[in-house]
A and B are shown apart, each in its own frame.
Chain A
Amino acid sequence: GQQVMQIPQYQHVQEGEDFTTYCNSSTTLSNIQWYKQRPGGHPVFLIQLVKSGEVKKQKRLTFQFGEAKKNSSLHITATQTTDVGTYFCAGPRDSGNTPLVFGKGTRLSVIA
Chain B
Amino acid sequence: GAGVSQSPSNKVTEKGKDVELRCDPISGHTALYWYRQSLGQGLEFLIYFQGNSAPDKSGLPSDRFSAERTGGSVSTLTIQRTQQEDSAVYLCASSRPLASPNTGELFFGEGSRLTVL
**A contact residues vs B (CB 8 Å cutoff):** 30-31, 33, 35, 41-45, 48, 50, 88, 90, 92-93, 95-105, 107
Choose among B41, B102, B106, B109 the residue that contacts A50 (Cβ–Cβ < 8 A).
B102
Q: Is the interface of A mostly helix, strand, loop or mixed?
A: loop
Asked if B42 and A103 make an inter-chain contact with CB atoms under 8 angstroms apart, the answer reads: yes
B interface residues (Cβ-Cβ under 8 A, vs A)? 31, 33, 35, 40-43, 45, 48, 50, 56, 59, 91, 97-98, 100-111
* Listed A/B pairs (8) with beta-carbon separation below 8 Å: A43-B43, A44-B108, A48-B105, A97-B31, A100-B106, A104-B41, A105-B42, A107-B40
Task: Kindly provide the distance from the CB of A14 to the nearest chain B CB, expressed in whole angstroms.
Answer: 23
B30's nearest neighbour on chain A, judged by CB, is A97
How distant is A98 from chain B, measured CB to nearest CB, in Å? 7
Tell me which residues across on chain B come within 8 A of A105, comparing CB atoms. Answer: 42
